[in-house]
Each structure stands twice: as C-alpha cells, then as structure tokens.
Amino acid sequence: SRFETCWPALMKDSHGVIIIFNPDLPSHLKEIEMWYSCFVQQQPLLDSQCLLVAHHKPGSAGDMENLSLAYPLNKLKLIHSNLEEDPEDVRMEFIKYFKSIITIINESREREEMSIIS
C-alpha cells in the first residue's frame, strides 16, 4: 500500500486497533490477516486490544451468523455492524471495547509506577 511508510507513525504508542471490513468481499478477508499481523502482532498488542468489525452494507445479503474466520483472527472479538438494523448494539460494543482498553492502559500504568517505586 502506498501508505505503508506512514504505518510506524500511526502505530506509535497506540493502545488499540479496530479493523473494519466488508465480509462480502473475499479480498477483505485476506487483507485483514495482513492488517492484524502488522498492527497487532508486530507491535505487539494483546488480542484483547483488537476489535474486528464486519460491516454489512444496507441490503447486502451477507450471512451474519456463519462468518468463520481462520486462526489467528478467530481469537479476536468480532462484532457485526448493520447500521440499518441495530446501531445501538454496535454502539454498546464500542463502549465495551473502549472500557477494556482503558482498563489495560490503567493496569500497565500501575505496573510501571510499581516498578519505579520498587
């Protein structure tokens, strides 16, 4: 990608990664493996710091129940977004995700402070 030179700047000090993809496009399913590898595994971030969002376009006949992702993507939290039908659900999942990231940041900050003290 022509933006790859910017990636290190984007990744610096990041605490979480949200990958949004179109599950109806087979090419996207291949690409999210690459995004996961670059932005999560190489940082390294915990899998819990990554959220996958399968975004279904209005009127797409995407099968929301049977989207099976291969390892290691199947270990990640996956939500389906379909803003026509249930935007509130997606909003609640985002809030849960952000809360979990804040918890991770606070825990690592506490660990750092303890290591400085001890």
Kindly list the domain boundaries of the chain, sorted by start residue: 7-117
**Residues 27-48: tens digit of each pLDDT:** 888 899 999 999 999 888 999 9
Question: Between 41 and 3, where is the model more confident?
Answer: 41
Alpha-carbon gap, residue 47 to 50, rounded angstroms: 5
Is 18 in contact with 54 (CB distance < 8 Å)? Answer: no
Residue 17: count of CB within 10 angstroms of its CB? 20
Q: Are 49 and 76 in contact (CB under 8 A)?
A: no
Taking only the tens place, the pLDDT of each residue in 67-111 is: 888 899 999 999 998 877 778 888 999 999 999 999 999 999 999
Q: What is the pLDDT of residue 63?
A: 57
Q: What are the residues facing 43 on neighbouring strands? A: none
Model confidence at 2, pLDDT cuts 50, 70, 90, reads: low
Residue 5 pLDDT grade (very low, low, confident, very high; cuts 50, 70, 90): confident
Predicted model pTM: 0.83
